[in-house]
Amino acid sequence: MLKISTVIKLVNLRFYGGIKEIGGNKILLEDNGTKIFLDFGMSFNRREKFFEEFLTPRSANGIGDFLTTNLIPDIPGIYRDDLITHFGRKPEEVDVQAVLLSHAHADHANYISFLHKDIPIYCGKTCKYILEAIDEQSQRNMENEVLNYKERPIFKGEYKNPPIERAFNTFRTGDKIKIDSIEIEPIHVDHSVPGAYGFIIYTSEGPVVYTGDLRMHGAHANMTDDFINASKEAKPIAMISEGTRIDIDKSDESEDTVYKESKNEIKENKKLSIVDFNFKDVDRFTTFYKIAKDLEKTLVISFKHACYLEKYHKDKKIQSPDSKDENIQILKPKRLTGTYIDDDYTDWYIKKRLNYPNIITANDIVKNPNQYMVVLNFWYFNMFVDLKPNGGKYIHSLSEPFNEEMEISYNRMMNWINYFKLNFVQSHCSGHIYGGNLIKLIENINPKVIYPIHTEKPGNFKKLNMKTVIVKEGKTYKI
């Protein structure tokens, strides 16, 4: 749908989510009648306010529970017809032209699930691969239908109906995207997931910069440098910036430190080594893969992890081994009968990989534990019973708990660690820029005005010698 630009110059920004909270970004930019969303993510903080494991928004009520509890904003012309009509409203004419998705993390991407199919999604090529890996190994629910969705309600006999695919347009860094009168330049940034981008949005009033999530201390800091340089050159009239760690002035964390620390710890361990990190973080995978190779150990991954690895391997921009690599083996979980027979596996992502040559069970690992480094997430700690890791090492390569819910899980995790007498090691490097670097980044880009989001402490941006607007939910800001 092409709209002819009028002479009325007007750029509006409206913010939903990510305001005094970590993530859930949904930023609506309007220029001469063209409307685009910058991300459309899920806010964990908001969700936790009302819901938990056994108290969830009901998909039986379509979009109703999500709208009522303000998990998604009530904006006309953006949501799926099936969800809107299920909630008792009439279908609405689509009123937004695109979503620019910065990266594949749930707090930026997942509530695309609710959007109308006629709103195209623009994201990086690698980002799309990751969305495909997520899709392959997760059970469909209303909050993870980013790539495709099934119309609700689903009646008996309709479960096998094919899903409706969303329209995706992928880009690489430096490409130019045109959405009606707005031109957008996506530029790669370094973050804890590959395929992460910041955007320079050329509006009728001038360029607006959006950081997405980024960092300057990671393995690909040069990508963030590219973003900084291009943004600076654009002389932005406004900048929307993440501020997850604005309160941390200094830090000496790095991916290389994780590598060195973890390698030393695993080297001196004569028993089983268990490591936990996020599958989506390919840099962290590379770190532990390198350690395994250096120490002549086998890296044992899960079938879920294999879904990601195969996508990364396919992506020529990422140098990543295949899931059948000689240094990698895939751990077969116990299901149904617990006897490892093929019939036990009903999940397609496992079933289709059962014939791989590098499948291993806990029984094999127990025979020679020193030979292995097992990547094991907390949700699979019941496998300790089979792996018998007594006296071995556990490397927690994830962030430490930063809220009450995480604290509870963390304590439970420590109970398992202590029960199996594992030596606990914390070694991590954050995906987010810390305050000291962020201040430098913003001063370097030097926008006319800064809008902090994705932060619990927007007030900390006030220390910048720059016009800072602390935004309010749903309010319109003219630039």
Q: What does the binding site for Zn ion look like in residue numbers (CB under 5 A)?
A: 105, 213
| Kind of pairing between the strands at 298-301 and 372-375 | parallel
Q: Which residues contact 266 (CB under 8 A, 6 or more apart)?
A: 273, 291, 295, 297, 373, 393, 395
CB atoms within 10 A of CB 175: 15
Q: What is the DSSP string of 206-217?
A: EEEEE--S--SS
Nearest CA to 244 out of 213, 199, 208, 280 is that of 213
Does 333 sit behind a cis peptide bond, omega within 30 degrees of 0 on the bond before it?
A: no
Alpha helices in 145-254 (DSSP H): 221-234
Q: At what angle do helices 435-445 and 221-234 cross, to 10 degrees?
A: 30
CA angle 213, 110, 176 (to 5 degrees): 55
**In angstroms, what is the minimal distance from the CB of 271 to Zn ion?**
35
What's the length of the chain? Answer: 479
In terms of Cβ atoms closer than 10 Å to its own Cβ (0-12, 13-18, 19+), residue 6 is exposed
Q: Which residues contact 53 (CB under 8 A, 6 or more apart)?
A: none
**In angstroms, what is the minimal distance from the CB of 104 to Zn ion?**
8
Phi–psi pair at 307, nearest 5 degrees = -55, -45
Q: Nearer to Zn ion by C-beta: 25 or 231? A: 25
CA angle 88, 63, 74 (to 5 degrees): 85
Q: Nearer to Zn ion by C-beta: 152 or 215? A: 215
> In which element (H, E) is residue 130 found?
helix 125-136
- Report the C-alpha gap between 141 and 152 in whole angstroms: 11
Residue 124 pairs in a beta bridge with 171
Q: Nearer to Zn ion by C-beta: 216 or 274? A: 216
Cα dihedral: 422, 427, 431, 432 (round 10): 120
- Report the C-alpha gap between 103 and 45 in whole angstroms: 19
Residue 448 pairs in a beta bridge with none
